[in-house]
Structures are given as C-alpha cells and as structure tokens.
Amino acid sequence: MADDGMWKQFERDGVHTVRARLLEWQGHVKAEAIAWLAHKDEEERARSEASQASQIRIARSAERAAWIAAIAAIIAAVAAIVTIIVEIMK
C-alpha cells in the first residue's frame, strides 16, 4: 500500500531529486521511493503514448487534406482546360 504522506513529499521533491537520493535511503522509504518512481515512469510512458497517437492522427489528417487539395487542383485544371477548349470552339 502506498504511503500517501511519503508520496506527497516525493511529489514536492520531484523525480530528479528522488532518483538522486534513492541510494541514501533504506528499508520502507527506499521501497516507497522505488514504487513512486515506477508510478511516475508509467505516467510518463502513458503520456508519451498518448502524444504519439495524437501526432499520428494529426499526420493522417494532414495527409487526407493534402490528397483532397491535390484532387481539387486536378479538377480545377480539367475545368480550366474544358473552358479554354469551349472558348476556342466558339
């Protein structure tokens, strides 16, 4: 079971400080610090995965937008050519 008081102190100290002091601690304090650091590492991994998923969604959306723009440009070019041909045929 997590010791809420210790974890609050670890939060105040921050990950870098807790990692630096880990070698100084023993017993229950060290075990709690290791558990807290594992929890923080898991949070960071989850944030990283969410960020990567978001970046992939944005990239796919941009790719779709680029294809739509390319198709629209082709349609506009064909329409311009047809207009020119119609004008020449008059």
User: Average of pLDDT values for 20-35?
Assistant: 95
Q: How far apart are CA 59 and CA 65, in angstroms?
A: 10
Given a cut of 70, whether residue 26 has pLDDT beyond it is yes
- Concatenated DSSP letters for 67-83? HHHHHHHHHHHHHHHHH
Given a cut of 80, whether residue 1 has pLDDT beyond it is no
Given a cut of 60, whether residue 58 has pLDDT beyond it is yes
Given a cut of 90, whether residue 3 has pLDDT beyond it is no
Does any domain span residue 17? yes
Range of the domain at 47: 4-64
Given a cut of 80, whether residue 61 has pLDDT beyond it is yes
- Tell me the percentage of the chain whose pLDDT exceeds 70: 99
Answer for the pair 33, 18: CB distance below 8 angstroms, yes or no.
Answer: yes
Question: Which pLDDT does position 90 carry in this prediction?
Answer: 80
Number of domains within the chain: 1
The whole model's pTM is what? Answer: 0.66
User: Average of pLDDT values for 42-57?
Assistant: 96
Does any domain span residue 86? no
Enumerate long-range contacts of 25-31, CB under 8 Å, 24 or more apart. 28/3
Does any domain span residue 48? yes
